[in-house]
Chains A and B, each alone.
Chain A
């Protein structure tokens, strides 16, 4: 992408239930032909750059919470639900059983005190557009009192099953994505956290 396009990259605001877009959202480049060794035409490339717009809807409090150092889940409080009291992380808007809107609950303290690695995987590869350092240490974290097991990544140390971990949050220059949440082994000092992250 050229410097001009970079500076004028598309941005979006919401006003009165409408997306207001400004800047470059669709950048086209000249296509090129594809030939085989004998010089026969096989096809063409179709290069272009696009920016998608995506709504978090009622999940927005979760992603906004990460930027403020808070891990939010949801809890079914419908007295008529067979599974009343179940707490979900990943954050779900509606109870998967009764489909009533759930209450947002703060799981930061519970995560700090009880989170353990349920399973993990160290992955040497990534796909295009990855922003995490490799190898990526995928971890699935079980927080006591919750019905589910959150996927995330371990920033420091070597993962093992049952290992106690604590959440860290990208509170400086947050991306407002799931990558703003990471984990470190219990007892890790603030000085070892990645730039922009805090407990």
Chain B
């Protein structure tokens, strides 16, 4: 049983409030054979400028330091790709640095930018991420992704990262899902929801109108996971601009407070050791006193079923932002739905539901924009963007895309951006005739989870309308 010191559990303190000023995205696709990465990055930064009625040159004039998220150099065969993009964005001679934390790269990039502003080093910072996953065949891509596992102890075992994560899925499936058909259907509902939401998102490339049956009949990747349970592999870019209060209100009239915290856990799941569950603000030791009796096989924490990194990111972030109960204090979430089952696992790590009860978030209808059981707004809608399953997973950009989506929702500008027929056309698409406005009515606070593979890195980003800051939310 390992323990953590008081110093390690200190709630992070920012020296001054940090605001999200704007953000932007490129279109996302499986491949862009006729576009260079810099074209996608320029598109994202240009959109960020347009969102606050600035030209790109005006926006750039505020930026003091730059943080670039790009996970897989070897996909693009370009070391220091960050410097290439920095130059092409015309941001020299500003300081820049690359950030790489696997699937959490986008969130980690924002974490760095926020800390730069919070510390006073910069008054305005750029966090921009991208990924180029289309320049090798898929099986080589799988090999390259597997290089993010331990190259001596894991990569030679199949050269397929899915396998290293899927053992965790299997454990959760049997212990907490009890291998029930009803649980399998609940997993499928997430895929149906997120692919369905993506049909209304012009940036997305995985929108599908499918049924639970379609998911259950899709090809097996690694039982119980099927093809339609899995996220997309994407190319694209996204960015966020953060600033201190004075600068933020100079740049736009309604900047949003932003808090980011991070957690990590062993790169090799094999190295996980047993520990007590770190408790979120609304939990007590009693919450989990009989967990192993209700779910035999769940004796170890985090075992192979929980993501300690996600739990720790929220442990810090909720206390920074004053979140007591995420279901009560937040209005929407953008979660890292790499697989339907990992999405359910995350509900528990981030405290939307206690450990063991993640499935009820879906089954209750709480995770929908409109609860299918009641026809009323869902309690805490998840991934109206379509998430990683429906919208995109361009690794270095993913965590930033999620925060852009929260920003649009909290600004109440979801329909303006997602429902713009010209935008659909500019991406070579036609706006669907049955296009739905997935604006979460009255959204004031949101959470984004950016997560790496087996849970080695996770960031929790909380975006808050400053007029609706929670009591206890600290700069």
B-binding residues in A (CB < 8 A): 34, 36, 40, 42-43, 46, 54, 56, 59, 63, 83, 86, 88-90, 92, 96-97, 118-132, 136, 138-140, 147-153, 161, 177-179
Q: B273 touching A90 by the CB < 8 A rule?
A: no
Query: In the assembly, what is the distance between CA of A86 and CA of B142, in Å?
Result: 35
Query: In the assembly, what is the distance between CA of A161 and CA of B170, in Å?
Result: 10
- Residues in B whose Cβ lies below 8 Å from that of A151: 153-154, 157, 164, 167, 268-270
The proximity string for B residues 158-176 relative to A, scoring 1 for CB distances below 8 Å and 0 otherwise, is 1111111011111100100
- Residues in A whose Cβ lies below 8 Å from that of B160: 123, 125-127, 130, 136
Do A178 and B157 contact each other (CB < 8 Å), given the known contacts A119-B170, A149-B304?
Answer: yes
The proximity string for B residues 235-277 relative to A, scoring 1 for CB distances below 8 Å and 0 otherwise, is 0000000000000000000000000000000001111111000
- Residues in B whose Cβ lies below 8 Å from that of A34: 33
Closest chain B residue to A147, Cβ basis? B273
Q: A161 touching B163 by the CB < 8 A rule?
A: no
Interface size bucket, B side? 35 or more
Q: What's the minimum C-beta distance from B326 to chain A, rounded to whole angstroms? A: 28
Query: In the assembly, what is the distance between CA of A55 and CA of B174, in Å?
Result: 39
Closest chain B residue to A136, Cβ basis? B158
Most buried by B among A83, A138, A178: A138
A-binding residues in B (CB < 8 A): 2, 33-34, 77, 137, 139-146, 150-154, 156-164, 166-171, 174, 220-223, 268-274, 297, 304
- Residues in A whose Cβ lies below 8 Å from that of B166: 121, 123, 138
Q: A128 touching B164 by the CB < 8 A rule?
A: no
Q: B222 touching A128 by the CB < 8 A rule?
A: no
Q: What's the minimum C-beta distance from A151 to chain B, rounded to whole angstroms? A: 5
Q: What's the minimum C-beta distance from B252 to chain A, rounded to whole angstroms? A: 38
Q: What's the minimum C-beta distance from A163 to chain B, rounded to whole angstroms? A: 13
- Residues in A whose Cβ lies below 8 Å from that of B146: 127
Closest 10 CB pairs of A and B: A127-B142, A127-B159, A127-B143, A119-B171, A121-B166, A128-B143, A123-B163, A128-B139, A128-B140, A136-B158
Q: B270 touching A90 by the CB < 8 A rule?
A: yes
Interchain Cβ contacts under 8 Å between A and B, 25 examples? A88-B271, A118-B171, A118-B304, A120-B170, A123-B162, A125-B221, A126-B159, A127-B139, A128-B159, A130-B143, A132-B158, A138-B166, A140-B167, A140-B269, A147-B274, A148-B270, A151-B154, A151-B157, A151-B164, A152-B157, A161-B174, A177-B152, A178-B153, A178-B157, A179-B156
Candidates A97, A123, A131, A150; contact of B270 at CB < 8 Å: A150
- Residues in B whose Cβ lies below 8 Å from that of A56: 152
Query: In the assembly, what is the distance between CA of A43 and CA of B32, in Å?
Result: 11
Closest chain B residue to A151, Cβ basis? B270
Closest chain A residue to B166, Cβ basis? A121
Query: In the assembly, what is the distance between CA of A112 and CA of B457, in Å?
Result: 35
Q: B167 touching A130 by the CB < 8 A rule?
A: no
- Residues in B whose Cβ lies below 8 Å from that of A40: 34
Query: In the assembly, what is the distance between CA of A125 and CA of B159, in Å?
Result: 9
- Residues in A whose Cβ lies below 8 Å from that of B140: 127-128
- Residues in A whose Cβ lies below 8 Å from that of B161: 127
Q: B159 touching A129 by the CB < 8 A rule?
A: yes
Q: B268 touching A90 by the CB < 8 A rule?
A: yes
Do A124 and B221 contact each other (CB < 8 Å), given the known contacts A119-B167, A140-B270?
Answer: yes
- Residues in B whose Cβ lies below 8 Å from that of A88: 271
- Residues in B whose Cβ lies below 8 Å from that of A90: 150, 153, 268, 270-271
- Residues in A whose Cβ lies below 8 Å from that of B297: 161
Query: In the assembly, what is the distance between CA of A151 and CA of B149, in Å?
Result: 12
Q: What's the minimum C-beta distance from B452 to chain A, rounded to whole angstroms? A: 17
Closest chain B residue to A119, Cβ basis? B171
Q: A138 touching B157 by the CB < 8 A rule?
A: yes
Q: What's the minimum C-beta distance from A159 to chain B, rounded to whole angstroms? A: 9
Closest chain A residue to B168, Cβ basis? A119
- Residues in B whose Cβ lies below 8 Å from that of A43: 33
